[in-house]
């Protein structure tokens, strides 16, 4: 199924589908109890058959994993098949009724909320066509045309407005997600992203080299802010982040701003020896590229680094963080501007 025809969020689409199916089955059961009240209503046996069918489909959608349903086109198919069945029932009964039109509105609302734009518009278009068929089957051309223009316009506008609203909400959520994932100052990922990547690296099978975590901060960072101003402190962090990105590869490293002037580097499939070597390379790179202050003077940055390493599956996230943090403070106590490792 093409992505443009799939659900925006399969789990929510599945939950809503089950609710709508159950509501529709309850409404149909009421019709079955009361009996047909209009010429366009289906007979009692047909109504009860629909009730059973709706309950069976609701059971399927509550049991099958939402992602599997989405890949198979289950949510788009549910809407399209629902409209087709409604139209067929109305035509076979010789017309339509307000109840049938209400069910069509259900379908458009569902598609607009839960399907991506192309899918929602496809369902809306089919619903408008089906509504027209139902109206022209049951009424004279003049009255049917008037009703079709009114009803079709209402469905079409409703479907388009819902799709537009859902797109706007999706863009807003994506923007908020980017803000949650990326530090606005340095462009590095946040602690949340690092935690996810680190948990995955510690849990998955793969290289026997293991996983390394580097923690670093700027030596005497407070003095930069006190002497040169907070803007210079921000410039120092941006400068440091740029150097680290130049020294790491996106394929095997995740670089994160932990908070303040502390930065972490996750090195995947990295041995202990390589982790220490790469930490020393970072230290040399920072030393070799001084920060240019706003007045044009050069300021030599100094950083301290702590290195921790975990063999595959042998450490927990908190344990690795604690080891790297202990190593960082050992580097501070040892004179700053150096690398310390949490292993022998």
Residue 311 has pLDDT above 70, yes or no: yes
**pLDDT computed for residue 71 by the predictor:** 92
pLDDT at position 339 over 90: yes
- Pairing of the two strands 339-341 and 303-310: parallel
Q: How many domains does the chain have?
A: 2
> Are 156 and 278 contained in the same domain?
no
Please state the rounded mean pLDDT for residues 194-202. 87
Lowest model confidence (mean pLDDT) among 56-60, 119-123, 250-254: 250-254
0.75 cut: is pTM over it? no
> Does pLDDT of 176 surpass 70?
no
* pLDDT band at residue 312 under the 50/70/90 scheme: low
User: Could you say which of 127, 155, 180 is where a domain stops?
Assistant: 180
Q: Is residue 95 over pLDDT 70?
A: no
| 121-139 mean pLDDT | 85
* Residue 206 pLDDT exceeds 60: no
The per-residue pLDDT for 105 is 85
Distance separating alpha carbons of residues 49 and 85, to the nearest angstrom? 12
| Residue 231 counted as domain residue | yes
Which range, 79-93, 202-216, 236-250, has the best average confidence (pLDDT)? 236-250
Average of per-residue pLDDT across 308-322: 81
Query: pLDDT exceeding 90 applies to what percent of the chain?
Result: 39
Query: 284 CB contacts (<8 Å, ≥6 apart)?
Result: none
- More confident site: 160 or 237: 237
Following DSSP, what letter does each residue of 319-341 receive, concatenated? HHHHHHHHHHHHHHHTTSSSEEE
Using pLDDT thresholds of 50, 70 and 90, give the confidence band for residue 281.
Answer: very high
Euclidean distance between CA atoms 104 and 299, whole angstroms: 69
Tell the residue number behind the tokens 């670089």, with chain if given: 255
Least confident of 177-191, 213-227, 229-243: 177-191
Q: Are residues 231 and 315 in the same domain?
A: yes
Structure letter (DSSP) for residue 42: P
Asked whether residue 186 is domain-assigned, the answer is: no
Collect all residues with Cβ–Cβ distance below 8 Å to 167 and sequence separation of at least 6: 117
For 282-298, write each residue's pLDDT tens digit. Answer: 999 999 999 988 888 89
pLDDT computed for residue 93 by the predictor:
67
- Average pLDDT rounded to a whole number, residues 62-75: 93
- Yes or no: say if 129 and 81 are a contact pair by the CB < 8 Å rule: no
pLDDT of residue 99: 63
Position 139 confidence tier, pLDDT thresholds 50, 70, 90: low
Task: Give the gyration radius of the chain's Cα atoms.
Answer: 31
For residue 1, list its beta bridge partners. Answer: none
Say how many C-beta atoms besides its own lie within 10 A of residue 268's C-beta: 20
pLDDT at position 200 over 80: yes
Q: Model confidence over 7-50: pLDDT tens digits? A: 989 999 999 999 989 988 888 888 777 765 555 556 778 778 88
Q: Could you list the residue range(s) of the whole structural domain that residue 168 is in? A: 3-180
Please indicate, yes or no, if residue 108 is contained in any of the structural domains.
yes
Q: Average pLDDT, stretch 181-209?
A: 83
Tell me the average pLDDT across 107-128: 90
Same domain, 222 and 168: no
User: Residue 185 falls within a domain, yes or no?
Assistant: no
Q: Are residues 112 and 199 in the same domain?
A: no
pLDDT of residue 242: 94
Per-residue pLDDT band at 275 (split at 50, 70, 90):
very high
My answer on whether 172 and 201 are in the same domain is no
Asked, for residue 66, whether it belongs to a domain, the answer is yes
Predicted local distance difference test score (pLDDT) of residue 68: 93
Whether residue 258 is found in the same domain as residue 168: no
CATH number at residue 279: 3.30.70.270
Last residue of a domain, one of 180, 208, 226: 180
174 and 203 co-located in one domain? no
Does residue 225 share a domain with residue 284?
A: yes
Q: Which residue has the tokens 């010429």?
A: 39
**Does residue 172 sit in the same domain as residue 195?**
no
State whether 174 and 246 are in the same domain. Answer: no
Domain ends where: 180, 205, 232? Answer: 180
């Amino acid at each position: 199924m093409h992505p443009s025809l799939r659900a925006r969020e399969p789990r929510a689409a599945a939950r809503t589908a089950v609710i709508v199916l159950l509501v529709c089955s309850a409404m149909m059961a009421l019709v079955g109890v009361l009996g047909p009240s209009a010429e366009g209503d289906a007979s009692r046996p047909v109504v009860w058959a629909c009730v059973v069918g709706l309950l069976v489909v609701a059971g399927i959608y509550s049991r099958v994993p939402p992602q599997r349903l989405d890949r198979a086109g289950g949510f788009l198919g549910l809407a399209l098949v629902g409209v087709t069945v409604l139209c067929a029932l109305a035509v076979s009964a010789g017309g339509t009724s307000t109840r049938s039109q209400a069910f069509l509105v259900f379908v458009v609302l569902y598609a607009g909320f839960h399907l991506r734009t192309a899918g929602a518009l496809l369902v809306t278009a089919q619903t408008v066509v089906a509504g027209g068929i139902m109206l022209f089957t049951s009424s004279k051309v003049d009255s049917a045309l008037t009703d079709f223009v009114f009803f079709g316009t209402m469905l079409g506008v409703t479907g388009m407005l819902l799709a537009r609203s859902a797109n706007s909400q999706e863009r807003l959520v994506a923007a908020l997600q980017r803000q949650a994932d990326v530090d606005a100052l340095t462009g590095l990922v946040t602690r949340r992203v690092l935690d996810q990547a680190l948990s995955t690296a510690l849990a998955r099978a793969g290289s026997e080299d293991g996983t390394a975590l580097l923690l670093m901060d700027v030596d005497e960072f407070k003095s930069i802010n006190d002497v040169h101003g907070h803007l210079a402190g921000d410039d120092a962090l941006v400068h440091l982040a740029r150097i680290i990105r130049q020294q790491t590869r996106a394929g095997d490293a995740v670089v994160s701003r932990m908070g303040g002037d502390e930065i972490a580097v996750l090195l995947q499939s990295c041995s202990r020896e390589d982790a220490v070597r790469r930490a020393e390379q970072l230290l040399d790179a920072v030393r070799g590229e001084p920060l240019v202050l706003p007045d044009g003077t050069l300021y030599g940055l100094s950083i301290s680094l702590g290195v921790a390493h975990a063999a595959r599956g042998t450490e927990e996230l908190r344990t690795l963080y604690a080891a790297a943090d202990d190593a960082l403070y050992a580097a501070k106590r040892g004179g700053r501007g150096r690398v310390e490792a949490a292993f022998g």
